């Protein structure tokens, strides 16, 4: 009997982005299945944020195709966007609006049913209830991150894109946010793609890691597979091998 192959949530082919002469993303091909947490891992300028921006439709690709939930993002992004959300340190929420007002505006943009209840339940989950009526601009970095995560989860996205979700957080808050993301994926069978250069975060959260360098995916596998392939003890050492090594695109054995 033939087994039905589930349709990937994200399917990217030959995705390329050029800014003038600079190739920021160079012919990426990958797909993501439902319920996985995957990572784009790479140094600064590797093309992680550019890739996420294209997946969200905020940036138009120079070439290639993006399909999410089987829909072409270039032609039908508005059918996809209600089922997707994201969080990124590169964009902000309006500072003068209170947390509740921000969440209300975004909740209405997604046309969420039972919005007040949803805000209350997220506030309880993410422990933001005590500052719901405080202006967003007056929150600490950790509090802002939790509010940004609440905004990202308002519509219970089936695909959640997170750009450096724990950047500039203290270890305790960072650990707390990672736990929450894990719980969300587990409960909602959501697909999560995160861009990060925090190795321990990626090792802990992700079952699928795409190593990026100069806009290309130079290697891919689970953290343990990559560590074994490069003969290293940690993912950070693998990252350094790829970033610095003379044969950075190849595993050590292959280079030898």
Partner 1 sequence: MTALSAAPTRPRVPIDDGFAPARVWAMMLRYLYLLRSSWPRTLELVYWPAIQMILWGFMSRFLMTNSSWVARAGGVLLAAVMLWDVMFRGQLGVSVSFLEEMWSRNLGHLFATPLRPYEWVISLIFMSLVRVAIGAIPSALLAIPLYHYSIFSLGLPLIAFFSLLMFMGWAMGLAICGLILRNGLGAESIAWFAVFILAPVSAIYYPVSILPWWLQYVAWCLPSAHVFEGMRAVMFQHTFPVDHFLAAVGLDFVWLAAGGIVFLIFMRQARRRGALMQMGE
State the residues that interact with partner 1 by CB under 8 A: 19, 49-50, 53, 56-60, 76, 78-79, 81-86, 88, 90-98, 101, 104-106, 108-114, 118, 121, 124-125, 135, 151, 155-156, 158, 176, 179-180, 182-184, 186-188, 190
Distance, in Å, from the CA atom of 26 to the CA atom of 114, rounded to the nearest integer, reads 43
In the complex, least distance from residue 228 CB atom to partner 1, rounded to whole angstroms: 27
Between residues 207 and 237, which has the closer beta carbon with respect to partner 1?
A: 207
Between residues 60 and 254, which has the closer beta carbon with respect to partner 1?
A: 60
Distance, in Å, from the CA atom of 64 to the CA atom of 41, rounded to the nearest integer, reads 21
Between residues 79 and 232, which has the closer beta carbon with respect to partner 1?
A: 79
Residues in the chain: 256
Distance, in Å, from the CA atom of 150 to the CA atom of 103, rounded to the nearest integer, reads 8
Between residues 53 and 145, which has the closer beta carbon with respect to partner 1?
A: 53
Cβ–Cβ < 8 Å for 136, 167: no
In the complex, least distance from residue 245 CB atom to partner 1, rounded to whole angstroms: 30
Between residues 95 and 247, which has the closer beta carbon with respect to partner 1?
A: 95
Angstrom CA distances, 234 to 105, 188, 208, 246, 256, stand at 43, 30, 15, 19, 20
In the complex, least distance from residue 244 CB atom to partner 1, rounded to whole angstroms: 28
In the complex, least distance from residue 227 CB atom to partner 1, rounded to whole angstroms: 24
Between residues 41 and 153, which has the closer beta carbon with respect to partner 1?
A: 153
In the complex, least distance from residue 98 CB atom to partner 1, rounded to whole angstroms: 8
In the complex, least distance from residue 36 CB atom to partner 1, rounded to whole angstroms: 17
């Amino acid at each position: 009997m033939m087994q039905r192959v589930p349709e990937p949530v994200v399917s990217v082919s030959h995705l390329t982005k050029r800014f003038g002469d600079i190739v920021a993303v160079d012919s990426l091909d990958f797909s993501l299945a439902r319920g996985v947490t995957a990572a784009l891992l790479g140094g600064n300028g590797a093309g992680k944020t550019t890739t996420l921006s294209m997946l969200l439709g905020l940036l138009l690709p120079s070439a290639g195709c993006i399909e999410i939930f089987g829909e072409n993002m270039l032609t039908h992004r508005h059918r996809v966007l209600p089922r997707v959300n994201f969080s990124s340190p590169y964009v902000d929420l309006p500072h003068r609006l209170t947390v509740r007002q921000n969440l209300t505006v975004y909740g209405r943009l997604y046309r969420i049913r039972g919005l007040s209840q949803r805000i209350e339940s997220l506030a309880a989950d993410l422990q933001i209830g005590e500052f719901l009526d405080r202006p967003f601009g007056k929150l600490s970095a950790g509090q802002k991150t939790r509010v940004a995560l609440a905004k990202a989860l308002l519509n219970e996205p089936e695909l959640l894109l997170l750009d450096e979700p724990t950047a500039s957080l203290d270890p305790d808050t960072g650990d707390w946010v990672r736990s929450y993301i894990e719980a969300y994926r587990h409960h909602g069978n959501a697909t999560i793609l995160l861009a990060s250069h925090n190795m321990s975060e990626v090792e802990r959260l992700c079952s699928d890691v795409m190593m990026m360098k100069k806009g290309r995916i130079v290697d891919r596998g689970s953290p343990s597979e990559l560590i074994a392939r490069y003969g290293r003890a940690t993912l950070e050492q693998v990252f350094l091998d790829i970033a610095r090594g003379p044969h950075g695109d190849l595993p050590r054995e292959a280079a030898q």
